[in-house]
Amino acid sequence: MKKNVQQVSRQVCRSWIIRVSISSLVTLATVASTSVAQTPAAHPSWPGPGQLFVGTCYQPIDRSPEEIDHDISIMKHAGFSVVRMGDLSWDSFEPSPGQFKFEWFDKIMDKMQANGIRVILDIPGSPAPIWLHRKYPGVDIVNQYGERRPPAERYMDDVSDPDYVREIGVFADKLTKRYANHPAVIAVGYDNEIGNGFMSYSESDRQRFIAWLKQRYGTIDELNKAWATQRWSRRLPSFDDVDLPLADGPGPPERYLDLHRYWSDVSVARLKELDAIRQRNMPDIPSISNLWDNAPRRGFDYLSTYKSYVSYGAEGLYPSDPVSGAFGALMIKGDLATPIWFNEFTAGGGGFYGTPGRSRMYAYLGLMIGAQGTLAWTFNSHLGGEEQALFGLLDHDGRPSWKVDEFARIASDFRELSKYGFPRYLHPEVAIAYSFDSFVDSHPNGPSNTTLQYFAPSYAEQVQSAFEPFFRANIDTAIINIGHDSLSSYKLVVVPADYVMDAASAKAIRDYVSGGGTVLMTAFSAKVDEHGQWFDTPLPGRLNDVFGLRTSQFYKPEEAPQFELDGKLVKGHIRFYEVLEPETAVTLAKFTNITGQPPAVTVNKYGKGQAIYLAAPAQPAFIDAILRKISDPLGIQPGPSTPEGVYARVVDGRTLYVNTTDAVKTVMLGKKARGVLSHNSYDNEMKLGPYEAELVQ
């Protein structure tokens, strides 16, 4: 994919306004849908079937009243139907403790409503105002060396501090009451990108961590057992002797895992508290929050908690490639019945995000996997602050760039597509397991840890590699936590490199297979228990009888293992494999380039179902080969046939094709067809231009 910006001449405001038809405005219909976190009564704000939303993120704090009027005019003529506002702006609403100013925002809300533009109202709990840090120093971050860090940028708030918790609760209550009945409000968002905050190491944080440990383990003896403190003279005489584990530096994996669990629980608690306020003050308004569960600093366990604070899965979409973009979006969806929202969407940037046609292509890719809302980040290019070089839809001098035209075209196309079965509601037959605990514990901090040598590539990369063959075969999949989401609706559950196998997940797999399901598990799975300690029973832990084998050593041969399945040679690219010792399992394939040709793939009948084990890390070639063997017997049908880089899904008898490449692709249709978007007629084949999409009937 091209990473250089094509040179596109600027366009002045009036030139594009003339070209964009007023008919591209997305109309709002009567709505009927169901929230998972809260079941609302009928409400005119509720986004429902047959509605697609295109808009932008907007920070009016940077704009004068005249500029705001001008901006709204541009949005309206571009056909935008929604904006997200309020995020990152706490001190604009509460400039000093307890002194609230909403009048300035009232005017903007009224103007949005008057122009047919709905609002996702963000509760801006992060960053906290400077006055909050000054009045309550406990909100300051203290690094692991005991140094106070000034709140110089976003995310530098200790959201576990009780003063912070109280103050954000007061503010959220005021904000939601103020706009509870405002007709522009379509949804509420919480704490932009929560999960990307810093861990704090103050004494108060240590005490809160100790309280968390007491609740989790009860006694110091149980904590010592869970943390394996008998190893190398690390026993803890009492809870008072507990230190906060280091996020960056040496430390046993058991403590590192609990450190991340604690901070995950902190983030989830804030989300649940805000959702309780929403339910109290705005019960008919859904939550659509821009969440960042896999943020590198902290992250949080989204997939085991999301149904308690999420109505629609939402995220910021900034993909590096189609596979990872789709994977991330589906992970934020989980198994929610509601569509995906992109509360931030790739629009501007340092060249790569500025490629003409790229945003539109990803908008269609999102539509294909079940998206309903697409909001460009951002409307105005910022003159100052942390993202001043991130180009928005308007250039720094306020003139609309070519990106406005592109998003206007998305809005116009989506208005048309809303008549043809969009948003698309998914009914996947395949689930991919993802575990926050496995993500954390598979790559603990070093330098003396021995786990990392087995996870190359990383756990997250292996899960995505397991997802990739299904996505390329145009098969819908769900990304779920197998210990918290039901498996009963799936024909196949893939469990890639699930290092931590807790009791709930093991029971879910056992019950699913026993009841007739098929599980495919890959190497490095079920090695440690919920405390991050290796099982002292045959591996895979808690499941060796289900898979009918014992896994033994890891080995790293001179070349990547390969195996033969159904007469076809399948080559891997990762130089690791596990030694399998089948008991009741039957060998389906053997490694052909390893001495002794040990088992590569086995299958075991257990109850009414079957459990398949791959003795190598998850990688697309291996997963694809197994999929091809089992898909027909399981009744899993591939989607439309497409060339490399083109993806497709059938929607109400029509097929949406998306070319994610910068080259022309030929799609073989096999019959005459008509393009809904282009109105072109096709005879057996269709030429799809770079980054182009077409709905074919």
Number of other residues whose CB lies within 10 A of the CB of residue 611: 29
Strand partners, 599: 590
pLDDT of 475 above 80: yes
> What integer pLDDT is reported at residue 406 of this predicted model?
96
In a domain, 609, yes or no: yes
Same domain, 458 and 413: no
In a domain, 604, yes or no: yes
Same domain, 362 and 312: yes
pLDDT of 15 above 90: no
Same domain, 332 and 456: no
* Average pLDDT score, the chain: 91
pLDDT of 85 above 90: yes
Q: Rounded CA gap, 431 and 518, in Å?
A: 11
Residues 534, 551: contact at Cβ < 8 Å? Answer: no
pLDDT of 328 above 70: yes
Same domain, 373 and 516: no
Which amino acid is located at 580 in the chain?
Answer: L
Q: Rounded CA gap, 413 and 408, in Å?
A: 9
In a domain, 260, yes or no: no
Place 353 in a pLDDT band, splitting at 50, 70 and 90.
Answer: low
Q: What's the whole-number mean pLDDT along residues 219-227?
A: 98
Same domain, 390 and 291: yes
> What integer pLDDT is reported at residue 33 of this predicted model?
31
User: What is the number of structural domains in the chain?
Assistant: 3
> What integer pLDDT is reported at residue 6 of this predicted model?
28
Residue found by looking up tokens 């009027």 in the block:
69
Buried b (16+ CB within 10 A) or exposed e, 169-190: bebbebbbebbbebebbbbbbb
In a domain, 46, yes or no: no
Q: What's the whole-number mean pLDDT along residues 597-625?
A: 98
Query: CB under 8 Å to 363, separation ≥6 — which residues?
Result: 54, 345, 371, 374, 410, 414
pLDDT of 690 above 80: yes
pLDDT of 26 above 70: no
Q: At what angle do helices 358-368 and 322-333 cross, to 10 degrees?
A: 40
Q: Rounded CA gap, 394 and 48, in Å?
A: 30
What Å distances lie between residue 562 and 466, 556, 592, 625, 683, CA to CA?
17, 13, 6, 11, 42
pLDDT of 300 above 60: yes
Q: What's the whole-number mean pLDDT along residues 256-273?
A: 98
Both structure tokens of 195: 């999960």
Q: 285 phi and psi, to 5 degrees?
A: -100, 130
Q: At what angle do helices 103-114 and 65-77 cross, to 10 degrees?
A: 30
Q: What's the whole-number mean pLDDT along residues 500-509?
A: 98
Higher pLDDT residue, 6 or 295? Answer: 295
> What integer pLDDT is reported at residue 42 of this predicted model?
34
Same domain, 363 and 461: no
The DSSP code for 561 is -
Q: Rounded CA gap, 194 and 119, in Å?
A: 20
Residue 503's CATH number: 3.40.50.880
Q: What's the whole-number mean pLDDT along residues 602-616?
A: 98
pLDDT of 110 above 70: yes
How are beta strands 340-346 and 314-317 bridged, if at all?
parallel
Residue 19's CATH number: 3.20.20.80
* CA-CA-CA-CA dihedral for 676, 682, 686, 688, to nearest 10: -40
Omega within 30 of 0 (cis) for the link into 151: no
Same domain, 344 and 479: no
Q: Rounded CA gap, 195 and 616, in Å?
A: 32
> What integer pLDDT is reported at residue 77 of this predicted model?
98
Place 349 in a pLDDT band, splitting at 50, 70 and 90.
Answer: low
pLDDT of 161 above 90: yes
Number of other residues whose CB lies within 10 A of the CB of residue 602: 23
Boundary (domain end) residue, out of 389, 417, 445: 417
Place 47 in a pLDDT band, splitting at 50, 70 and 90.
Answer: low
pLDDT of 201 above 60: yes
In a domain, 328, yes or no: yes
H or E segment at 460? helix 459-472
> What integer pLDDT is reported at residue 452 of this predicted model?
65
Same domain, 335 and 483: no
Same domain, 73 and 109: yes
Place 260 in a pLDDT band, splitting at 50, 70 and 90.
Answer: very high
> What integer pLDDT is reported at residue 522 of this predicted model?
98
Q: Rounded CA gap, 254 and 246, in Å?
A: 12
Q: What's the whole-number mean pLDDT along residues 535-552?
A: 98
How do residues 413-468 score in pLDDT, each as one tens digit? 999 999 999 999 999 999 999 999 999 999 888 776 777 666 778 999 999 999 99
> What integer pLDDT is reported at residue 348 of this predicted model?
72
pLDDT of 351 above 80: no
Q: What's the whole-number mean pLDDT along residues 576-586?
A: 97
Q: What's the whole-number mean pLDDT along residues 267-277?
A: 98
Boundary (domain end) residue, out of 396, 417, 438: 417
Q: What's the whole-number mean pLDDT along residues 60-70?
A: 96
pLDDT of 12 above 80: no
Same domain, 86 and 187: yes
Q: Rounded CA gap, 197 and 141, in Å?
A: 10
The DSSP code for 196 is -
The closest alpha carbon to 668, from 690, 693, 688, belongs to 688
Q: What's the whole-number mean pLDDT along residues 79-104?
A: 98
> What integer pLDDT is reported at residue 48 of this predicted model?
56
Place 389 in a pLDDT band, splitting at 50, 70 and 90.
Answer: confident
Same domain, 665 and 618: no
In a domain, 512, yes or no: yes
> What integer pLDDT is reported at residue 46 of this predicted model?
53
How are beta strands 609-614 and 518-522 bridged, if at all?
parallel
The DSSP code for 307 is G
Q: Rounded CA gap, 579 and 589, in Å?
A: 13
**What pTM did the predictor assign?**
0.92
Boundary (domain end) residue, out of 393, 417, 441: 417
H or E segment at 17? helix 13-19
In a domain, 273, yes or no: no
In a domain, 222, yes or no: no
pLDDT of 623 above 80: yes
Q: What's the whole-number mean pLDDT along residues 43-61?
A: 78
Domain that holds residue 368: 13-31+54-196+284-417
pLDDT of 214 above 60: yes
Considering all CA atoms of the chain, what is the largest pairwise distance in Å, rounded to the nearest integer? 78
Share of the chain above pLDDT 70, in %: 92
> What integer pLDDT is reported at residue 456 of this predicted model?
75
pLDDT of 633 above 50: yes
Same domain, 309 and 368: yes
